[in-house]
Amino acid sequence: MPEILAPAGSMEALIAAVRCGADAVYVGGTMYSARSSAANFDLPSLREASDICRRAGVKLHLAVNTLLTDAELPDFCRFMSEAGRYVDACIVQDTGVLQAIRQVLPEMTLHASTQMSIHTPAGAREAAALGCSRVVAAREMSRDDLAALCREPVEVEVFVHGALCMSVSGQCSFSALIGGRSANRGQCAQACRLPWKTPSGKNPAALSLRDLCLVPHMAELCEMGVDSFKIEGRMKRPEYVAAAVTALKQALNGEQPDLERLQAVFSRNGFTDGYFTGKKQNMFGFRRKEDVLAGNAVLPELAALYEKQPPLGTLDFSAKLQSGTPSVLTASDSQGRSVIVTGDIPEKAEKSPLTADRLARSLSKLGGTIYTAGETTLSNPDGLILTAAQCNALRRDAVQAMDALRIRENTPACPVNDLPDFPGSVTREGKGIYRVHVRTAAQLAAVPDGVICCIPLHIAETCDPLPERWIEAPRIIADEERYRRTLHDLHTKGYTHLLCHNQADIRLGREEGFMLHGGFGLNVTNRLTVQTLAAQGLQDVTGSIELRMRSLCRLRPEKAPDTGISAFVYGRLPMMLFRCCPIRSQDGCKHRDCAMTDRTGRTFPLQCSVHYQELLNANTLWLSGKDLSGLDYLDLYFTDEPPARIAEVLHAYRTGSGTPPEDRTGGLYEKGGLR
């Protein structure tokens, strides 16, 4: 049976998950977790959580799925050297963080977070090559996508219930760019849940998705070979966790789960399975007053689900009393574990000696533990007696000893290495080569000769390959086999460079023989990530748009000194990446001039590709005249600009002059970015 993996943002939620029958629980520390607003767990509470889970035979996963900077890696490794003693696996987004964990905890099990945006078999294979035994699938995958992923020799974890982000996880910069709260750092302000409008203006919350529920599809997912069913909700209360775990257990046992109760405890005007089924028309919803009232009505009955610890095993007791010798009690469970404890020296009975029945009455008082009482045997040839208090003390000691044994047996051994030395930075003058990114053939025709131009696949298929024409991978791969064939044909045609936005691009591009370059979709924030990507075959990488420019220019590591450093320096920064077009779903496809409007009246262009959409910033990034000397490549992204604008922008950046756009922004490179 697949694992039921429950969220726990607090100790109360963890207890609810364990008592309702979760097979594993995932938590976050007080730092380095993608849900920083949850209560989370410091080291002492993490150890307590570990004991609760181990006693019940439940695994504990630690989410350390944020992007880290170079300055944070030493403290992170110190944290992991302690936290790693208590957990079974770590959930990781940043490939540099992944390598740091491997250095500190060489035997730690690693899971690729959904923040890595893995949505194809090649991406899963590359994650496995990096050391991940499991991938947490992107939430936007269809049943066919998931079935293909499950055929790979790596464990697959699938979100089956809980909130859906509008953007593909790991590819949202909206909260960071607008409010300085990075979703990639666990600080998302949930701007998509605020009022947004499509052109028709019918839906006041046009970027708010209903919650996911795949409980009715459990049998199909089991047949696919999904290894872990994951519930979203580390920000949710314990009653929600109890309801979701209970519903999943019922579904897996062939029972009919109470979906009405599950919807009542938390939903946004109902549930959706639109990504899984491909029926995306009714995916949007927001939290209504009726939803809140329904939740309040079911909370008491849900709290009762985890009020008491249900028994998880039976203890048989065998006691031995001898004159002048401490009493001895052996407790054995059905899995073959045995513990022996000693108590007080028994006394000669003045009236009736201790009998097995009287002893059993004391030993059977196991309320509040995970055990029920089985058989009790007694050896008492000398007719001795113990008081009820002495029998109770033996029982308590035996339970504590059995708990400790279960905890020891269920805690994986995790060797801890000395803290590593992290790569220093190589400081040198960058090459300052411009790379122009275009979306149309007309824009391509306007790019001056000799300037590197990154072009989409469909344009590359229709024009001649030139040394300065590089292929830019799509941000979402809808059909991986077709994508592979296209890359093969383009390489055969004469294209030699591929700009990668995903781990799948790296895998496929390397196999097809391309020279590889890293795009902004890889979310690079530290030198260890750069070093890892260089080992994967990338010649240069683009620093995160959430970094300060000074930090970005220091990303070149000593152990990979020839790796180029690039930055997105012009254009409308990508805010969100969609796999469900809000305009098509709610208004019908407009085909042109697509845009969303926020509550302040600002207009954000919606750029459509074949299988995904990008919500772009309302303002244009403009860094002409700024010090960009530490960069090897300067990436200029043109989306809705007329072709003539390309030469104007290039001239402005080369000369440090030119007229900036009225809607210009400096992004986070100077203020607000990660240091």
What pLDDT does residue 212 have? 97
What pLDDT does residue 40 have? 84
CATH dotted code for 3-164+209-306: 3.20.20.70
Alpha-carbon span 568 to 292, nearest angstrom: 43
**Which pTM was predicted?**
0.95
Please, what is the end-to-end C-alpha distance for the chain in angstroms?
45
Alpha-carbon span 49 to 41, nearest angstrom: 8
pLDDT in tens, 547-583: 999 999 999 999 999 999 999 999 999 999 999 999 9
What is the three-class DSSP state of 157? strand
Q: Is 268 exposed, middle or buried (0-12, 13-18, 19+ CB in 10 A)?
A: buried
Alpha-carbon span 289 to 326, nearest angstrom: 64
pLDDT in tens, 447-459: 999 999 999 999 9
Contact of 50 with 406, CB cutoff 8 Å: no
Q: Which of 603, 568, 564, 569 is nearest to 583 (CA)?
A: 603
Contact of 321 with 327, CB cutoff 8 Å: yes
Around Cβ 335, how many Cβ atoms within 10 Å? Answer: 10
* Distance (Å) of CA 402 to CA 21, 276, 343, 405: 20, 44, 16, 5
In the chain, % helix, strand, coil (3-state, to 5) comes to: 35, 25, 45
- Give one word for 210, left, alpha or beta, with left for phi > 0 and alpha for psi -120 to 50: beta
- Looking at the domain 433-571+622-665, which fold is it? TIM Barrel (3.20.20)
What pLDDT does residue 473 have? 98
Alpha-carbon span 86 to 44, nearest angstrom: 10
Contact of 491 with 498, CB cutoff 8 Å: no
Alpha-carbon span 565 to 432, nearest angstrom: 10
Residues lower than pLDDT 50 in the chain: none
User: Residues 6 or more apart from 281 whose CB is under 8 A from it?
Assistant: 274, 585
What pLDDT does residue 577 have? 97
What pLDDT does residue 352 have? 92
Q: Which of 411, 431, 521, 512 is nearest to 473 (CA)?
A: 521
* Distance (Å) of CA 530 to CA 80, 520, 527: 21, 12, 5
Domain with CATH 3.20.20.70 in the chain: 3-164+209-306, 433-571+622-665
